[in-house]
A = this chain, B = another copy of it.
C-alpha cells in the first residue's frame, strides 16, 4: 500500500574517466557471493575498443607448427572449465603508501572475484604445437592507444611454463553470462594468482616467441622499482587482507557485532587470519567462513563488544600455507604496486 523508497546500493568509486578506472566498493560487498559484473572493478589503459568482426576471432601464431584462427562460435564448442578466481589490480591499496606515489589512488576495491568459464590455454597450444625453444607467450588485446608517442595495443607476456598451467583460461563467460563489453568481451585471458595486469581483456592474438617480450606494459609499467635501485617484474599476488566492516574512523553503535573482512594470497592458500587490538602486541585468530581455496578470497569475522565512548584500534593480518605473512610496512616501490601491509583502522563506539 505505502510506497517504500528504492533499495540503497553501493556504486563503483571513480578514479578516472578517460580511460575509465573505477573501484569496487569493497567495504560493503560480500565476497561470499561472486561480485556482480556491474560492480566488478574497472582498470583500463586505453578507451574501450570498438567491437568489429575481427574481435570475434582468436589468432595463435609465432613459433607454432600450425597457426590457428579460431572464431567465437568454434571456441565455445571446445571442452571448457569453470573456475572461481579473484582478479586484483597490482595498484590495489596504492593510496595507503605513506610516501605517496603517482597514479590512480586506489583504496581497497581494485579487486573482484567471480566464476570464469573458458577453454584452458594449454589445450589450444597443444592444437597448434609449440616449437622448440619457445620462451614466452604474448597476449594482445584489442584496446589501443598512444603510449610514449606510439600507437600500441595493450599486450603482455607469460613465461611458457606459466602459460601451460591448466588453470590459465581463455574465458568467455563471467558468472554464467558472456563477458560484458567493459570486462573483455568476447575473450579475456585469466591468469589465476597473478595480479590483474596479466589477465588481458579483449584478447585477440596470442604469439609464441623465443625471445624476451619487451613491450612497455612489461618492462616499464608493472615493474617494482625499489628504493635501492633494483627492480623486478610484477607477477604473483601478495598475501593480503582487508577489513570490510567497520570502516576506518567509523562511529560504530555500542554492543557486540562482528568485525568482517576478507583475506587472500597469490600462491598457496590462506592458513590463518589474525586480529589485534593493541597495535600488534598480541594477536587472536579470526574465524574463517569456509576452507580457503587457491586463487579465492576467504571471508573472516571476529565478534567484538564495543563499549560506548571507547576508541578501538584494530589491526588484521593474513598468513598463507607457504609461511608468507603481511608485513608491518609495505615495500615501497616507485609505481606503487603490491601494497600489502597489515591493515589498521580506528573506530569509536557511540
Chain A residues close to B by CB (< 8 Å) = 2-6, 8-14, 16-20, 22, 25, 27-28, 48-52, 100-103, 105, 181-182, 247-251, 346-348
Specify which chain B residues have a CB less than 8 angstroms from the CB of A249 in the assembled complex: 100-103, 105
* Contact indicator B250/A102 (Cβ below 8 Å): yes
How far apart are the CA atoms of A12 and B2 in the complex, in Å? 28
Specify which chain B residues have a CB less than 8 angstroms from the CB of A52 in the assembled complex: 2
Specify which chain B residues have a CB less than 8 angstroms from the CB of A19 in the assembled complex: 8
* Contact indicator A11/B12 (Cβ below 8 Å): yes
Residue in B3, B50, B100 whose CB lies within 8 Å of A5: B50
7 contacts between A and B (CB under 8 A): A5-B50, A8-B18, A11-B11, A16-B247, A100-B249, A102-B347, A105-B247
Residue in B6, B102, B103, B347 whose CB lies within 8 Å of A181: B6
A99 smallest CB distance to B (angstroms): 11
Q: Which residue of B lies closest to A248 (CB)?
A: B105
Residue in B3, B16, B101, B182 whose CB lies within 8 Å of A51: B3
How far apart are the CA atoms of A8 and B181 in the complex, in Å? 12
* Contact indicator A20/B8 (Cβ below 8 Å): yes
Q: Select the residue from A5, A9, A16, A22 with max chain B CB neighbours within 10 A.
A: A5
How far apart are the CA atoms of A105 and B22 in the complex, in Å? 19
Q: Which residue of B lies closest to A252 (CB)?
A: B102
Residue in B11, B17, B20 whose CB lies within 8 Å of A14: B11
Tell me the interface secondary structure of chain A in the complex.
Answer: loop
Given the known A-B contacts A102-B249, A348-B102, are A182 and B11 also in contact in the complex, defined by CB atoms under 8 Å?
Answer: no
How far apart are the CA atoms of A239 and B95 in the complex, in Å? 28
Q: Select the residue from A10, A51, A347 with max chain B CB neighbours within 10 A.
A: A10
Given the known A-B contacts A12-B11, A28-B17, are A50 and B3 also in contact in the complex, defined by CB atoms under 8 Å?
Answer: yes
Residue in B2, B9, B16, B17 whose CB lies within 8 Å of A50: B2
Q: Which residue of B lies closest to A21 (CB)?
A: B8
* Contact indicator B250/A5 (Cβ below 8 Å): no
Specify which chain B residues have a CB less than 8 angstroms from the CB of A250 in the assembled complex: 16, 102
Residue in B3, B5, B13 whose CB lies within 8 Å of A11: B13
How far apart are the CA atoms of A248 and B16 in the complex, in Å? 12
A100 smallest CB distance to B (angstroms): 6
A70 smallest CB distance to B (angstroms): 21
Specify which chain B residues have a CB less than 8 angstroms from the CB of A247 in the assembled complex: 16, 105
How far apart are the CA atoms of A4 and B5 in the complex, in Å? 34
A154 smallest CB distance to B (angstroms): 15
Specify which chain B residues have a CB less than 8 angstroms from the CB of A6 in the assembled complex: 48, 181-182
Specify which chain B residues have a CB less than 8 angstroms from the CB of A347 in the assembled complex: 102
How far apart are the CA atoms of A9 and B48 in the complex, in Å? 13
Specify which chain B residues have a CB less than 8 angstroms from the CB of A48 in the assembled complex: 4-6, 8
How far apart are the CA atoms of A39 and B18 in the complex, in Å? 19
How far apart are the CA atoms of A346 and B20 in the complex, in Å? 21
- Given A5-B48, A17-B28, A100-B249, 16 other A-B residues pairs in contact with their CB atoms under 8 A: A2-B50, A3-B181, A4-B50, A5-B49, A5-B51, A6-B182, A8-B19, A11-B14, A13-B25, A14-B28, A100-B346, A101-B249, A102-B250, A102-B348, A103-B249, A105-B248
